[in-house]
Each structure stands twice: as structure tokens, then as C-alpha cells.
Structure 1
């Protein structure tokens, strides 16, 4: 599942509630059509109610649950549809739904932790930027105009503040225009297939953030694959579903290549080993053990837990470290502004 994307018009909480309650009702013996009718009535948003009502209508016509869900790819992820198909064939739909709920719950918990770690510094940096612009464009020029009229040598902080204010006032619109143009060009390029791949490869090669993005992708893929195999989905279909759900175009293509290699007769660990820049050696070795012992699904879920824990620790560390760093930067900015304004006043008092 793409834990960082949102289905159009459908909240993540609604999908989580849907899977959890559908699992409970099916486990209790409620017919699937009746369960979908109940969930459609309880749906919060109009879009979600429409989707569930259409699924219920398809079931009433005699269609399979898998086929009914597959008609709404914007609402239901490929792994979910694949798992439902296997659950219907094997008669263990309640168990499959329970597996998927645990997977969805875990993914959502990680997403919220990452979001919480990133939100605070983003808000602080954004606020600092806005306050800085207001200070430089509106407040500083009025104060510094007074010092320009006084025949007193201005200290270095004041001269720097004057130069900064003049630069922003004189070239601010040009700088803003260039920034907007650069953002538009980058966004447009990032929406093309080639541009998306180039950008994602560049991110994976970045220091600090690159390894974390790599581990995050691995955790999502391992969780997807492990959950699908645990539910009884065959290996080729599991790779295809995991690839369809991958958030990274680079990892999506690698999964399709791994699937093709496995279809040609290679072991899974051998196929993964062909991508050393994307999948670390420890992952390959652990999967080797899992294949030899016949517990590939279990080791994939263990790998997912391992990398999820590493990603969580990274963002928890960032959240802990970033606060004092931001406070220090804000303190420096405030001290600079204070010196720029107060030093000339002190010089006048001495004169």
C-alpha cells in the first residue's frame, strides 16, 4: 500500500474502519452482501458511500467480491484485491481481512509518526520565513532609514541589515519569480515518467535522507509481500500487486524485474541480489534463509518490522535534534536583528 498517498475523496480513517469492521462482521458469520450494506449506510463521506454502495450492488447481482472491488482501483489497493480473491477461493476471507487490517493499521501508524516528526520543523521554518520577510521588507527599512540620516559610522550588523533589506526590496519580485518558475519546472518534470525516475534516483543517492527513503521503501515492499504471501497469494501475483502499490517508480520497476527473474526460475533472493543499490545484502541473506526453511512470508514480515523500526527511530531522532537546532537558529536571527538596531543607538548615546 502507498502509505503516503491519499485516495481521492476517501479518508484513510474510512478505509481502516471499513476493513476492521468488515473483518469483524464476516468473522461473526454475517453474509458479505449484508455486511457491505451496513458499511455503506455508515460511510461518512459521499464519495466513500457511493463506492461501497456500488460494491454492494455488484454483490447483489452475483458478482464476486474481488471483481466488485476491482471496479474501484482508486479506492482499493491491488494487494487488498489480490488477498480478497485468495480469501474467496480458500474460504478464509475473514482471516485474510484480519491480516490486511493489521497491515493497514501498522502502515498508518508509521505514516502518522513520520508526519508528526516532519510537521513541527516545517511549521517553525515556515513561520520563521514569513516573520523574516515581514521584518526585512516592512519593519527594518523604516528603522534603518533613521540611521541613514544620522552622520554616525554604522556597525557591521547594521550595514549588513541595510544591504539585506535593500536587496530584498529591490530584487524581491525577481527572486520570487525565479523561485516560482523553478518550482513549476521541477513539478512539471517530476510528473513525467522519466523525470519521476530521475528525481527518485537522485533522492536515493542523497546523504542522510537517501538511506532512510530506501529503508522506508523496503519496509513497505516487505510488509506488502509478506502479507500477501501469508494470505496465500501466489508469488508472481504478489510481486505484481506489490509493484502496483509501490510509491516509488524505481522500486516498482525493480519488483517487476524480480518477478520476471523468479518466473524464469531464479530464487527470490537471487533476483533481489541483482539490485544491490536498492536492496541491502542483509535483506538478501534473510530471504535466503526464509526460502530454504519455507517461511518466506514470515521473514519478509520480520524484515518489514526491522526496517519500520529503523525508520521510526530516525524520525524520532530528527524530531529530538531539530528542536534545539531551530531554537539556536532563531536565537541567532533575533540576536543579529537586535545588534543591527541597538548598536547604532548605543553609538549615538556614546557620542
Structure 2
């Protein structure tokens, strides 16, 4: 009897442990899922999905089976769950585009609209191929921009770090000797000592203010107005203006071309393109264009109203495309032209920015050197 009681206790204890382990595992899974959800779905995952879905459909595999198979291949747990949900929805008879709509925040309007058009036209495999190229080019463009901007960013951060180190540790030791001579210090030296003393004595406060300032700037830039005015400023900045325009024109041309190939109506095409544009000025322009086209305006005439965003070459190419009925192909060529332009610009960007950074660094070092040398020269002259 005692043995049975002991066995029962051990069994209950084991069950309790198993339950706690299961609940802990469940919590961990939920946390991981939340983190994956928070971080979003990488573009490479979507590219893999589109490419292989097209291949599998072409091979005669059913939609639900293909999506289920691809869900098992996904490394992103959040995306895996989404694909399983989509596969289940498709199995129940829902179209792929309708199954994707609950996840529009993941796939985007362009993605869903093109899939919808592909299903309606019976050209889903072709549309998937176009969509793959579209997203791949977009990914390459973003990667090139990020890659080109990494070098200047690293240099700027390094410069700031070295400058702070000099002001906190080096300058106080050099300038401390000036106090012994009670000499009248020049203005540059006074400014340098003042900045150095502020960083030494109130470094944490300065750091806090700096972090708060950055936080506020980021917060402002997330608002519509903040983003709008910042983008307006960048569109007027000499170096960045050209890059931003080329990137947006490449995206505009390729997106319109891809959508036109799927037989989506031109008005909807412009609206979808407007929604996928990251730059608010281009987005607003395209939305306005859609309304004007709806009222009977010609595309080339409508685009002419935005000369600051769309250069004459775009207007000419669109005009030719409309006249020949080959607008989708003409825009594709235009997209490739601007993508090549962006590629060349990104390759040359470090060599353009490097002299500016060196000049800025030279000025900063020179100013610091002058601020230190001037009083030393005065003291030496006074002693001699």
C-alpha cells in the first residue's frame, strides 16, 4: 500500500513536472513567435517562396501542397505559420490572393494585386515569375544603397568617437598647462576648453541629451509630416537628390511595367504603384496622376505636371510607349536604365563622399590644432 502511495506521488510529481515543462516550452515558443513577428519577414524568404511556388505549380503540384511544402522549408517561424495558414485556406477552396489578404502587412498590395490578376487571367505562373524579378530587383537596389552608405556611416561614427576621446582624455592634459601661466587665451582655445570641460564634468548629461535628441528626431521622422519634409529636403540635397530620384524612378518604372503585364487597369496600376513607393512625394504624385487619368488624361501629359520628380526622358519614353502600345516594355527598359544608373552611382559614391569626409576631418583636426597651438605660441613668445 505504501509502495502504491509512493508510486502515485511520484506519478503526480512527474505529471506536474511535465506540465510545467510543456507550459515553459509553450511560453518560449510564443516569445520566439512574437520576436519573429516583430522583426518581420525577410525579403529573401518571400523571394524563395515566390520562386519555388512558381516552379512547383509549373511542375503540376497543387497549390496547397506546394505552399505546405514551402512552409517546411522556411527558416522564419512567423512566416512558416503564415504559410501554413495560407495553405489551409487554399485547401478550403479560397483563392491564393484572398488567402494572402489577411497578411497584406507582410506581402504588400503589389504582391497581392499581381497574384489576383494572375489568377483571374490564368497566368499565375507568369505573374509569379514577374513578381520574383520585381522583388529581386528591389532587394538588389536596397542592398546596393545600404552597402554604399555603410562606409560613410562607419567613417562618421569613427570620427565622432575619436573626437570625443580627444576632447575627454587628451585635450584636458594639454590645456591644463595654460592655467599655470595665467595667459589670455584666444577664443578658439576657450571654446575647445569649454567643450572639453563640459564633456568631462557633464558627460552623462550630454549623452542623455544626445540620446533624447536622436529619439525625438526619429519619432518626428516617423510621422507623416516629418517624413514628408525630410524627404523634401533630401530631394533638394545635391548628392542625395540624384540618387533618390533614380531609385524611385526605377521602382516606378518596374512596378508599372510589372502591373501592366498582368492586365491590371491603368488607374489601379498607378494607385498600387503609389502605395508601394517609399517616397511620399512620388506617392502623392502617382495618386494625383491616377485621379487625372481617371478623368481622361493621357499618361504622358499627366506626368509632365511633375517635372521635379519625373525628368523629360521619362515623359518621352512614356509617350513612345503609349503611341506604340508597348508601354510595359518601354517602362521595363527605363527601369533597367535607372537601375544601372543607381548601380554606377552606388559604386562611385564612396569616392565622391570620401573627399568630403577627409575635408571635414581635416577642418576638425586643424581647428583643434590651432586652438591648442595658438596659446602655446603666445606663451613661448612671452617667456622668451
TM-score (norm 1): 0.86
Output the CA distance in 1 between the equivalents of 2:355 and 2:288: 45
Contact 2:186–2:374, Cα closer than 8 Å, also in 1: no
Distance 1:327 1:234, change over 3 A: same
Structure with the largest fraction of helix: 2
Output the CA distance in 2 between the equivalents of 1:308 and 1:125: 27
Distance 1:155 1:259, change over 3 A: closer
Alignment partner for residue 288 of structure 1, among 313, 316, 319? 319
1:222 equivalent in alignment to 2:249 = no
- 1:53-93 Cα offsets, whole Å, 9 max, x none, are 11111111110001011110111121111111121122221
5 Å-filtered alignment, 1:34-49, equals 34-49=65-80
The Cα shift of 1:169 comes to 4.5
Paired residues, what number? 345
1:89 equivalent in alignment to 2:123 = no
Match of 2:30 in 1: none
| Deviates further, 109-118 or 85-94 | 85-94
Contact 1:158–1:344, Cα closer than 8 Å, also in 2: no
The Cα shift of 1:124 comes to 1.1
Contact 2:109–2:275, Cα closer than 8 Å, also in 1: yes
Contact 1:8–1:74, Cα closer than 8 Å, also in 2: no
Q: Secondary structure at the residue paired with 1:266?
A: coil
Contact 1:79–1:241, Cα closer than 8 Å, also in 2: yes
| Deviates further, 174-183 or 217-226 | 174-183
Output the CA distance in 2 between the equivalents of 1:232 and 1:7: 35
Output the CA distance in 2 between the equivalents of 1:133 and 1:265: 61
1:106 equivalent in alignment to 2:137 = yes
- 1:217-273 Cα offsets, whole Å, 9 max, x none, are 121111111111123222122122212211122222221211121122111112212
Output the CA distance in 2 between the equivalents of 1:109 and 1:254: 25
1:140 equivalent in alignment to 2:171 = yes
TM-score (norm 2): 0.79
1:74 equivalent in alignment to 2:105 = yes
Output the CA distance in 2 between the equivalents of 1:224 and 1:21: 21
Q: Secondary structure at the residue paired with 1:103?
A: helix
Alignment partner for residue 94 of structure 2, among 63, 66, 69? 63
The Cα shift of 1:35 comes to 0.8
| Rg comparison, structure with higher value | 2
5 Å-filtered alignment, 1:183-262, equals 183-262=214-293
Q: Secondary structure at the residue paired with 1:75?
A: helix
Q: Secondary structure at the residue paired with 2:107?
A: coil
5 Å-filtered alignment, 1:167-182, equals 168-169=199-200, 179-180=210-211, 182=213
Contact 2:141–2:247, Cα closer than 8 Å, also in 1: no
Q: Secondary structure at the residue paired with 1:209?
A: helix
1:119 equivalent in alignment to 2:150 = yes
Match of 1:3 in 2: none
Output the CA distance in 2 between the equivalents of 1:70 and 1:294: 32
Distance 1:333 1:250, change over 3 A: closer
The Cα shift of 1:19 comes to 1.4
Q: Which has the higher contact order (CA 8 A, sep 6+)?
A: 1
- Structure 2 segments unaligned to the other structure (5+ residues): 1-36
Alignment partner for residue 265 of structure 1, among 276, 296, 301? 296
RMSD: 3.2
